[in-house]
Chains A and B, each alone.
Chain A
Amino acid sequence: MADSMFKTPWRAEVGKKKRYLFLWRWVVIATSVVALSPMVILSFVNYFQYKRALHEEVGERARHVTASTKRSLEFFLAQRRSALTFITRERTFEDLGDQAKLEAIFENLQDVLGDIVDLGFIDSGGKQISYVGPYDLKGKNYSEQDWFHEVTIRGYYVSDVFMGYRHIPHFVIAVARKWGAGKPCVLRATIDSDILAQQIRSLNIEPPSEAFLINREGVLQTPSRNQGNLLEKSHVDVPPYSEQWVVREAGGSSGKTSILGYAYINSSPFILIIIKYPATSLANWFNLKRGLWLFLIFSMIVTVLIIMTMATYMVSRIREADSHRAMVLHKVEYQAKMASLGRMAAGVAHEINNPMAIINEKAGMLKDIATFKDDFSYKDKTLQLVDSILHSVERCSRITHRLLGFAKYIDVKIEAIDMDILVKEVIGFLEVEANYRNIEIKVDVLDDNIPTIKSDRGQLQQVLLNMLNNSLNALAESGRDGRILITLNSEGPDHVSVTIEDNGPGISKENLTHIFEPFYTTRSNGTGLGLSITYGIVEKLGGQIETKSEVGVGTSFKVTLPVKKQNSGSGS
């Protein structure tokens, strides 16, 4: 109903736009902070945890590899040492010194341990008394050499890798044994160091990670990928001695962090070095990282968008509700005002009636006296004056009756009404006056099948009368030939409309907003109540009233009524 109440006396107060923007902004900020901070915090936490876990995993593998490779290398060397030691226990000094017997032993050894290159027996004086192998070493004296001293003291010896005569890298394992009371003799074997490289190759370490052996001076004992060639100095610093294997982080050669594992191989000069770059896992790590960030940013954007949408929706609903409430309050206020005005008006009307009745009678009496008396000098004048008094009393009476009509809410008596007939009836009341004033009234029925309305005849009459009276009064003021056009039409299946148009002076825009207010009139002798009563009646009957006007052109009132009486709710 709000649309049709245009030019109504009340206006809805719309809340200030700023206030709602402010509210919206703070809702969005607060909700975003609350929603996003856990997301962000958790993302960061996750990120660092992932990083650490990945690192640990790589480290774990490095540890595993280092430990097990150390063990297997140690086992390998121990195995060969055991073999040689067994031979010295098993055979006599003479057997080992015998070239042919040594050859047989060498053959067996070679069959069992495939990597033996040569085998030699050295007496306590350092002289190699028997030798089997590709080199010409029989008779060579090692008494001056460090390793000989070491092996006689220690009982065993493993050498660094060295380049052999045919540019094949070898290393030596030697064991010593005392026969009798003399100094120990040494059984010495040369081993192809490729076997060491093999052990390392079998680790299958993917580039750029690598593993290799160095000696205590940092010289490579096996070939390496990035550290240099065999028997060159490697780029890594020789790590400090540790009986256990060690794995730790190290700044890598190209600035990447790497994981360094090393182990001193017991009973040997070798140090196992394993360098792991978490490169392969890093590829996954980058993808994961990127995925995480993308997801985070995407989630943040979606969250913020949703928050903004919801906030906008909520705030606009709040605003709607506020303005609706303001409108309703205003209307309630207005109605209360009207009701109290009505009551006051009724009270005044009642009170005035009595003194008016007295005036009426007294003036009437004066008239009676003057009429029945014979002619006297002021008879005509007296009668004139008294008539004037009585006329004014009549006018007062009309006003009080209208006031009372405005004040009470008469119960409606419903009957079926033909608008066509009703309009013609009402015109009948005013015909004489219209003719007198040269005003033409025309009725136009636009729809042949206008339904009959169920409504109150008396009140409808009053509505039509009021509006027609207004038009008549307006036309009386303008100089032109007055024309009033009454149009009847059906509005959809459930409504009927009556439009009363005149070509009077029209109503200005400012006045138009007030015309339905009680006591508002631009006429010098108007009551100002006609239209407000009309408005009240129309509303009570469940209808709507609209006005259009243009100064200098005319005015039209359109009343739309339901075919069946509907409840005119207070919220309309």
Chain B
Amino acid sequence: MKLAAARKPVSREVRNRLKDFENYLTALVSRQPTAISIPCLPAVKAGGKRLRPALVIIAAGLSRLVDKNRLFKACAAVELVHLASLVHDDILDNAETRRGMLTINANYGIDRAICAGDFLFGLAFRLLSDSDDNTLSQPLARASLLLSAGELQQRQTLRRLDQSVSGYLERISTKTAALFVASAVMGARLAGAGKEVESALETYSGNLGAAFQIYDDILDFTSDEATLGKPVGNDIREGTVTLPMIFALEYPDNPLAAALSAPVHEAVAEAVAFVNACGAIERAKNMAADLIAQAKHAAAALPSGPTKQDLLSLGNYVIERYN
């Protein structure tokens, strides 16, 4: 399925800031020891949606007085934690490519990829410690702990058929949404926003992040290998039970159980086809859309201005992009 072409999701000011940030991030990683920068730079330059730095920038837009250097350090910190998790995820998934580039583990080996991920994680907090009194480090540290705990908890639920929607939502709130929340909160704190605004941004970004993960999990069934950079049905192979699978498992005589316990090619293909046909995808999309609606409801409570507009627009973009 081709991702729908979307209008620009955020304002020109945010887009320009993101472009400047892209240069900042590349320069930052370039300055690191070559044993780290050489393997990491292609991954950094390959780009990405940069949703987390975008959230920092958007939330920080609540004030016109945010120092650009501090802003970019915060953006870099969240993106480095995200990149570190992707580098290690690629090892765990035995992924050969990401965004059309060879992964670090494929190009340099597992050991180097582990080191690169560790280094990027340390760099994130080193960056913040230079100029922070903990207001920015604290939400990022919390998100990092939730993210790593979420990964461990996911290991314990691999291939289990008895998972609930609430359990899944709890899992993705730690694995994915936590870093979205940290991004928005860091932006809010840079802007000196009050507790009410910070709370609204937490609700917005938590729901946005959860919806984003659901759409990502849907794509594993509905997209194609060229777009994903890995075969369709990878979650079944890995044993990760996602929302579409939880819905599909409700149907009797579904082939998912067999595919999860023995993910051979034919079984996975049959399970993917079943998930697509049984209505599970539509239900998952509806849930994601509900979460976006909740996100937008939280954003609507913010003071009128570019930040509110960008957040609402970003919510619409996420829906359009994945439908």
Whether A and B are associated in the same complex: the answer reads no
